[in-house]
Amino acid sequence: RPDIPALLHDVFGFPAFRGVQEQVVGRIMEGRPTLAIMPTGAGKSLCYQLPAVALDGCCVVVSPLIALMHDQLRAAQAVGIRAASLTSVDADWRETQDRLRGGDLDLLYVAPERASGEGFRSLLRSARVALFAIDEAHCVSEWGHDFRPDYRLLRPLLDEFPDVPRLALTATADAHTREDILVQLGIPRDGMVIAGFDRPNIRYAVHARDGLPRQLADLVAASPGPGIVYAQTRAATEKLAEGLERTGRPVRIYHAGLEPQQRAANQAAFIASEDMVMVATIAFGMGIDKPDVRFVAHAGLPKSIEGYYQESGRAGRDGEPAAAHLFWGAEDFARARQRIGELEPTRQQGERARIAALGALVETGTCRRAILLRHFGESPPATCGNCDNCLAPPDSIDATETARKYLSAVYRTGQSFGTGHIEAVLTGAVTDRIRERGHDRISVHGIVTGEETALLRPVSRALLVRDALETTEHGGLMLGPNARPILRGEEEVRIVLPPKREPRRRSARNG
């Protein structure tokens, strides 16, 4: 039997496993199929690289991005692992194939479209395969934020080698996506290993956008150390960078429209710097190992909670205090919803859920960290003490009565109608639909009047956030697991009042 701790130390130079690595590696060594859900930076690569070295035969790694693949390839080769890749930009195909057949490779990286092809399958038949590692496994799910149809074609390959264990890895998977990965890749439920997602040294804060250039300049002035500002478009990165240069901090930009040499130079400068601000699109950051990033700011709404977690997670990898700031405006949501309308119907539902989850994060008056962690299936404490809402709880009012009326209306109308209908019933509207269904004759019809009407929207959002309401497959509302204590009067519902506009600060220099 291979001496795993010795390999960990001698090959990789690590004194010990981190977190769930030991469990994952142990499962693979026993040949058990596994889905490892580990946040960025938790050390996923080791989970297949170590078995690749320890096991007899080659570990085939499926990875979606050539750039990422080559980064990992170089890192593996640097510690002496016999590794190669078969991609469109590799010139040494013949040699790699010969090495694979000759048992001279520990690790072979391939793209999903290559891996699912018949040519590759027959190549593997002539070699000895020890492990299939499917990196960024959320790409297999239409629910995931990064669906790659080629991932769907991997299953026949995996099934052709039933004795070879399969390891799916991802940093980002909500419950739906997890389920999909298990089903699509043929991994039993008890093969799922989930690492803790909390990044306690990151302080989360969310701000309504209100003069973003000034807000960012203030933030940069107050935040020493290297930082990343994520903007949504190339043009926005350039504009924001221009504004930030006036603060005197070194500023670089990064987006896919720059010349490759320029991009590489900017990235290298950032990695070497101790106070630079990188203004970038989300093209920046994947595979970059800079542990001392002190802050990450988003100039607009991210694409998903997963995306936000991953991007903000580039702050403070060294474990020292770091901050994640998110600036958002209502127009971000409007734009996102508009984009959803243009998608194929099958993808709309997933996108809607993603936007709703982001809405819950930015609108809550409760702990941001708790919302993030719950999204990843954890059960965190109600407060963390290290986010904006925990540090300075916002003003809120008791809306428990309205919440109870709302929940009763959802219940009495049969748990299938959306917010529009529920609001209409509660405020006593008499539409055709209401009359047809007899909803004008139930006790909750018209029980909300006057100023209370304005609370209905925030109350429904608050109820969704705390799982007292859930959305049905068809976009209607139904009672969630936490409705009961509220209906019984055992739990109160407080909602955050819309933030008062901060008074615009006059520049002190002008007196």
Q: Which residues bind Zn ion (CB under 5 A)?
A: 367, 369, 384, 387, 390
14 binds ligand ADP (CB under 6 A): yes
Give me the phi and psi of 206, to 5 degrees please: -125, 135
* CA dihedral sign, ordered 166, 168, 174, 176: negative
Decide whether 17 or 270 has the Cβ nearer to ligand ADP: 17
17 binds ligand ADP (CB under 6 A): yes
Closest residue by Cα to residue 202 from 170, 228, 173, 174: 228
Decide whether 318 or 492 has the Cβ nearer to ligand ADP: 318
User: Looking at 20, 21, 376, 399, which residue binds ligand ADP (CB under 6 A)?
Assistant: 21
Residue pair 85/95 in contact (Cβ under 8 Å)? The answer is: no
41 binds ligand ADP (CB under 6 A): yes
Could you tell me the smallest distance in angstroms from the CB atom of residue 173 to Zn ion?
Answer: 23
User: Looking at 34, 37, 40, 116, which residue binds ligand ADP (CB under 6 A)?
Assistant: 40
Distance CA 165, CA 56 (A): 13
Cα 412 to its chain centre, rounded Å, is 36
Residues ≥6 apart with Cβ < 8 Å to 212: 240, 299, 327
Q: How far is CA 106 from CA 83, 86, 327, 436, in A?
A: 6, 14, 45, 68
18 binds ligand ADP (CB under 6 A): yes
The residue of the chain with the least Cβ separation from ligand ADP equals 43
Binding mask 281-300 for ligand ADP (x = CB under 6 A): --------x-----------
Residue pair 109/87 in contact (Cβ under 8 Å)? The answer is: yes
Which of Zn ion, ligand ADP, none has residue 43 at its interface (CB below 5 to 8 Å by kind)? ligand ADP
45 binds ligand ADP (CB under 6 A): yes
Residues ≥6 apart with Cβ < 8 Å to 434: 421, 424, 425, 440, 445
| From 43-51, 81-89, 93-101, 342-350, span contacting ligand ADP (CB under 6 A) | 43-51
End-to-end Cα distance, the chain: 75
Decide whether 196 or 243 has the Cβ nearer to ligand ADP: 196
Decide whether 44 or 439 has the Cβ nearer to ligand ADP: 44
Distance CA 205, CA 216 (A): 13
Q: 58 has which bridge partners?
A: 129
Q: Which amino acid belongs to residue 157?
A: L
Decide whether 31 or 200 has the Cβ nearer to Zn ion: 200
199 binds ligand ADP (CB under 6 A): no
Could you tell me the smallest distance in angstroms from the CB atom of residue 393 to Zn ion?
Answer: 10
42 binds ligand ADP (CB under 6 A): yes
28 binds ligand ADP (CB under 6 A): no
Give me the phi and psi of 90, to 5 degrees please: -90, 135
| Three-class SS state of 347 | helix
46 binds ligand ADP (CB under 6 A): yes
Could you tell me the smallest distance in angstroms from the CB atom of residue 197 to ligand ADP?
Answer: 12
35 binds ligand ADP (CB under 6 A): no
Give me the phi and psi of 496, to 5 degrees please: -80, 135
Could you tell me the smallest distance in angstroms from the CB atom of residue 41 to ligand ADP?
Answer: 5
**Residue 19 has which token pair?**
């977190």
- Give the number of residues in contact with ligand ADP, rule: CB under 6 A: 13
Residues at the site binding ligand ADP, with contacts judged by CB under 6 A: 14, 17-18, 21, 38, 40-46, 289
